[in-house]
Structure 1
Amino acid sequence: MNFINQPTSAQIKLFNSLKNKKKRDENRLFIAEGEKLCNEAFNSSYKVNSLLLKKESSSNSKEIAKKYERKKIPVYFLNEKTFNRICDTVTPQDIIAVLNYREDKPINDESFVALDQISDPGNIGTIIRTAEWFGFNQVLLSESCADKYNPKLVRATMGSLFRMNIISGLNFSQSLRNIFPEHIFLGASLNAKKSIEQFKPNKKFGLFFGNEAHGLSAKTKYLLDEEFRIKGDKAESLNVAVAAGIALYYFKEID
């Protein structure tokens, strides 16, 4: 392996800018940090722009880099200071994949999960990972959500991002009924009159979740066929990722 292969100053500036959404969108590139995500990226349909390795990297990371080299993907070695500036994490691992955006499109004959007004990328990533666990293949993000290539969101998916159909930046009120005309739209709400156990959809459906403070937007609520609540006891509310996990488990069991 060529340990003297180093990126240019322009490339370093580009890689360092990818923590910023505007720069990600301009260059249509994003980063995935750590051995697990770099392995997942390698085995996915995402096109890899390059692989970045800290010079003092682990044997596992070097083995991953060899796989990338065999596919003629550029592998660059950086000193610790430069490498850490590119990373989004406080205590970074020693390997980063730089990937091209992928154009995912809605699949209109599958059920889906829709997230509205959720700005916490960690919550979104956890919901995406949970959705895959329960057999859902697509997650739709409204334009008021964190974008799917946010570094924290990418990490929180633990690789599910690379295997699933994730569409972000959607205007729900303008597009969803046209894309999914036959689906039942069900939304989680603390104030819903019906509990989740009362719903047993007999056709494809969309499950909608909003943020913990304000729930679903008025425009998104207007799209819904029904709202459901998850019965609880004393706490004021559930974390949205926890609520989504409960609902996904329930609806997967009856799907």
Structure 2
Amino acid sequence: MGKTEYKLIWKEGSFFEKGHWRLVPAESDNGIFIFVIALLIIVVVGSIGLMLIPLWSCMIGFQMIREKRYIAGIFGIIGFIYFLIDLNNEWCSSLLFYGWTSSNGELNNGILELKTLNIFKFINFSATAVGLWYIIDSIIVNYRKEKNIKKQEILIEKEKEKELQIKKEKKFEKIKERTKLKPDISLDNRDEMFQNVALKIIQEKKVSTSNLLFEFQISFERLCIILDQLESLGVITLPEYKKKYQVIIKDKENLNLVFEYLNINY
């Protein structure tokens, strides 16, 4: 422990007391000195931190995800630009490397040696190059990510279309099963009815579905089966038939399902 110094002072007494001498610790300038040293350390550390911004950005970017590293790269480039400006204007660099001139004209050396500046230049050049790579890598990663998202969206759309097609096929199968179980004409005149419908279509070419239903007095489901048979024999082509009678198809939901199914499968 350091030796404590004391000094003798006169302390005046109160109304009822006499004054007397008193021994008290002497005042010291150590507190001011410590404050100046601490302030100098803060200034030096802050100056070094400003001169090495590209390095800090590079280290922070290494801990970031690849998609966001471009932020660290941009800050690294900004820090490198500041480094060059500082060297040109001799701000922090004068304190650290170049030195400064005092008020009486005396030249003081920098806190760090001038050759240390080459180390700072190498570190900042290398860190800035890494920052540029961060930016390029982030662009590539984000582009691939967007591309994969679009591929996934396309696959999802295809799956939806496939599910919709399966639903349509199931509806058609239900219609087909229902019409098979409930024919509206007897077995005796079924072949004759089929021939009459076929002859009517071949002769008139543009016969309407409503006319067929009215003339032959058959149900809509039965007509769907007859048209299906005619298409399978090559008498008519349902996609062409669908174009001719699209207004009628819109009004008839079941016939629309049959035509859609046949149009896809043929």
Question: Which structure would you say has the larger Rg?
Answer: 2
Structure that is richer in strand per residue: 1
Higher helix share: 2
TM-score range, shorter chain: under 0.3
